[in-house]
Amino acid sequence: MGIRFGIPAPEVPIPNPAAVQEVGTDGWTLLVNPDTAGAMAVNQTGALIWKLIDGRRTTGEIAAAVRDRFPDAPDTVAEDVRALLTKLAEEGFVGEEIPLRG
């Protein structure tokens, strides 16, 4: 199996192992992708989503975990999680597992 980056939000996102996370004192987290020299700042909810990306949880399971953590979150949690995962995929922070041709 290989990992493909730069695609729409995968169903089971895998974090880019090269990505670096720097937690700020202001509640924001900076994600840096040394592969692309790209960076993205995420709020506390985005940081939670980043922590939940482990290559085993589905997008739906990540959204459910966010809803559990923030019960007053809007009804758009699943769409919001998918939107962030799509952005993370576009920037090369997450990918998906793909079969290698033998």
Q: How far apart are CA 72 and CA 102, in angstroms?
A: 48
B/e letters for 14-38, b = 16+ CB within 10 Å, e = fewer, are bbbeebeeeeeeeeebebbbeeeee
Tell me whether residue 87 is in a domain: yes
| pLDDT score at 5 | 58
Tell me whether residue 36 is in a domain: yes
- Whether 99 shows a pLDDT value over 80: the answer reads no
Which residue range(s) make up the domain with 7?
2-94
* Digit-coded pLDDT (tens) for 3-20: 555 567 788 999 999 999
Tell me whether residue 101 is in a domain: no
Tell me whether residue 99 is in a domain: no
In the chain, the number of structural domains is 1
- Whether 1 shows a pLDDT value over 60: the answer reads no
Tell me whether residue 53 is in a domain: yes
Mean pLDDT value of segment 55-74: 95
Spell out the SS3 assignment of the chain: CEEEECCCCCCCCEECCCCEEEECCCCCEEEEECCCCEEEEECHHHHHHHHHCCCCCCHHHHHHHHHHHCCCCCCCHHHHHHHHHHHHHHCCCEEEEECCCC
- Whether 47 shows a pLDDT value over 70: the answer reads yes
Tell me whether residue 72 is in a domain: yes
Residue 35: which pLDDT band, with cuts at 50, 70 and 90?
A: very high
| pLDDT score at 52 | 98
